[in-house]
Amino acid sequence: MSLVRRAVAGDAAEVLRLRQVMIDSVSPASPTGWQAASLPTLRARLDRPDGEFAAFVVDHPDRPGALAALVAGTLEYRIGGPGKPPDGLIGYVFSVATDPDARRRGYARACVDELLEWFRERGARQVMLTASPDAEPLYESLGFTRDTTPSMRLYL
């Protein structure tokens, strides 16, 4: 029996807490005010099991009601092209986080494995993510390679 399960709407506050753990690991002292505003939308997304968004979690073994690990991902359509799947379905991994007192137990790996299986079952043939230097060895061990395409962002 797997320790990993699909997150549900009731997990939303803990999912946001672990997302903040991940954010703090790359940008210490980040603001947290965004969580309350994000909670209703996340609950609604987690309540749609057939949607294009999924989160997988491990319950914390020492703290009932808390989560030990999280991974979230989405499926997106992109027009096919060189190096892209012809049907355009791509998975995106984000918010991989483990509670600091639950690290080095394989929880993040188990969550990512479950998300990758979810992508496969839905027909994705390519998965992308952004890795911190600390997380790179995990992703490399799962078969991810460095992408040479630069990324840019615009906030609207």
Residue 152 lies in a domain: no
The per-residue pLDDT for range 1-27, each reduced to its tens digit, is 579 999 999 999 999 999 999 998 888
Answer whether residue 153 is part of any domain: no
Does residue 92 contact residue 76 with C-beta atoms inside 8 Å?
yes
The structure tokens listed for 48 are 């749609």
Is residue 77 in some structural domain?
A: yes
CB 98 within 8 A of CB 69: yes
**Residue 119: pLDDT above 60?**
yes
CB 52 within 8 A of CB 74: yes
pLDDT at 52: 94
CATH number, position 94: 3.40.630.30
**Domain for residue 154, yes or no?**
no
Residue 130 falls inside a structural domain? yes
Domain extent, residue 115, equals 4-141
Q: Residue 100: inside a domain, yes or no?
A: yes
Provide the 10 A C-beta neighbour count for residue 63. 13
In a domain, 117, yes or no: yes
Is there a domain that residue 89 lies in? yes
- pTM confidence score: 0.90
Number of residues assigned to the chain: 156
Number of domains, the chain: 1
Tens of pLDDT, residue by residue over 51-80, are 899 999 999 999 999 999 999 999 998 887
How many whole angstroms from its chain centre is CA 109?
11
**The most confident of 14-18, 23-27, 127-131, 146-150, by mean pLDDT:** 14-18
